[in-house]
């Protein structure tokens, strides 16, 4: 079966990709399962570039270190994603620096409060923001594909909701009338930036 290596160390992302690819003739492998942990410097200037940097690095590692069988190396696909929060009134900050915003180890309570504080006095209609996700695929023959999707909302006035992670408690989703952190996980996966970008990539791969 054709192998797909998903370049992430995140268990939730692995579960999501497995659900999305269910029923298709792919064997989905995490970096951990493949025994890969290359040091990757994410120095791109966009979500797309960073996703490509990760998937190219892992694809090169697989070929250079002759992982899997020769047959498998000829068909293996490497996927990677990169995501973050863009706030229009803050010139699209924190953007590609979402995880590193105010320091990687700073709690999201503090990050979220800081972003709300920075929007003090900004009217509802100018608080537009979105989660963005880019998914990149690198095929063994060198072909590359990138998909991008968003989940649109507005930054609220206080944190709300216990589900999700990161900036979920401050992104208000007008369509649902609640914060992203108030959606059930299945509900969020069905409409999330990552879910949409991964499903677009799944469909794109089917056509290649
Ligand atoms: P990465 O793509 O795993 O590097 O994640 C980037 C960062 O963006 C995360 O650490 C979060 O801060 C933020 N982020 C991305 N997607 C979401 C989401 O669905 N909810 C909340 N925060 C998110």
Return the pLDDT at 151: 97
- Does residue 105 contact residue 141 with C-beta atoms inside 8 Å? no
Using one digit for the tens of pLDDT, what is the confidence trace for 15-54?
A: 888 988 999 999 999 999 999 988 899 999 999 999 999 9
Return the pLDDT at 9: 85
With bands split at pLDDT 50, 70 and 90, how would you rate the model's confidence at 68? very high
Please tell me the distance from the alpha carbon of residue 149 to that of residue 166, in angstroms, as a whole number: 18
Using one digit for the tens of pLDDT, what is the confidence trace for 163-203?
A: 989 999 999 999 999 999 999 988 998 999 999 999 999 99
With bands split at pLDDT 50, 70 and 90, how would you rate the model's confidence at 76? very high
With left for phi above 0 and alpha for psi between -120 and 50, is residue 21 left, alpha or beta?
Answer: alpha
- Does residue 58 contact residue 78 with C-beta atoms inside 8 Å? yes
| Reported pTM | 0.94
Ligand 1, residues 165, 180, 181, 194: which to mutate, most atoms within 8 A of Cβ?
165
Just list the catalytic residues. Answer: 82
Nearest atom (ligand 1) to Cα of 165: 21
Portion of the chain with pLDDT greater than 70, in percent: 100
Residues 80-94 have a mean pLDDT of: 97
Q: Is 89 exposed, middle or buried (0-12, 13-18, 19+ CB in 10 A)?
A: middle
Ligand 1 pocket, Cβ-based, cut-off 6 angstroms: 81-85, 98-99, 131, 164-168, 192
- Does residue 194 contact residue 13 with C-beta atoms inside 8 Å? yes
Return the pLDDT at 167: 97
Q: Is 181 helix (H, G, I), strand (E, B) or coil?
A: helix
Return the pLDDT at 171: 98
Token duo for residue 11: 């268990």
Ligand 1, residues 17, 50, 99: which to mutate, most atoms within 8 A of Cβ?
99
- Does residue 79 contact residue 55 with C-beta atoms inside 8 Å? yes
Between the CA of 126 and the centroid of ligand 1 the distance, in Å, is 22
86 forms beta bridges with 94, 130
Q: Is 146 helix (H, G, I), strand (E, B) or coil?
A: strand
With bands split at pLDDT 50, 70 and 90, how would you rate the model's confidence at 12? confident
Who's near 86: CB < 8 A, 6+ residues apart? 92, 93, 95, 129, 130, 131, 132
Between the CA of 144 and the centroid of ligand 1 the distance, in Å, is 23
Q: Is 43 exposed, middle or buried (0-12, 13-18, 19+ CB in 10 A)?
A: exposed
């Amino acid at each position: 079966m054709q192998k797909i290596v998903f370049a992430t160390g995140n268990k939730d992302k692995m579960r999501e990709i497995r659900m999305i690819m269910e029923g298709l003739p792919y064997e989905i492998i995490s970096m951990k399962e493949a025994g890969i942990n290359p040091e990757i410097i994410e120095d791109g200037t966009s979500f797309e570039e960073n996703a490509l940097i990760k998937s190219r690095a892992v694809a090169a590692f697989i070929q250079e270190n002759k992982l899997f069988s020769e047959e498998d190396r000829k068909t293996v696909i490497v996927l990677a994603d990169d995501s973050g929060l863009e706030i229009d009134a803050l010139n699209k900050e924190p953007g590609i620096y979402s995880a590193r915003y105010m320091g990687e180890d700073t709690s999201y309570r503090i990050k979220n409060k800081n972003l709300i504080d920075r929007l003090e006095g900004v009217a509802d209609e100018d608080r537009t923001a979105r989660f963005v996700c880019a998914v990149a695929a690198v095929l063994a023959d060198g072909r590359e594909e990138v998909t991008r999707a968003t989940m649109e909302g507005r930054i609220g006035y206080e944190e709300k909701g216990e589900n999700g992670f990161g900036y979920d408690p401050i992104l208000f989703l007008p369509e649902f009338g609640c914060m992203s952190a108030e959606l059930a996980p299945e509900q969020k996966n069905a409409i999330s930036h990552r879910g949409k970008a991964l499903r677009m990539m799944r469909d794109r791969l089917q056509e290649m």
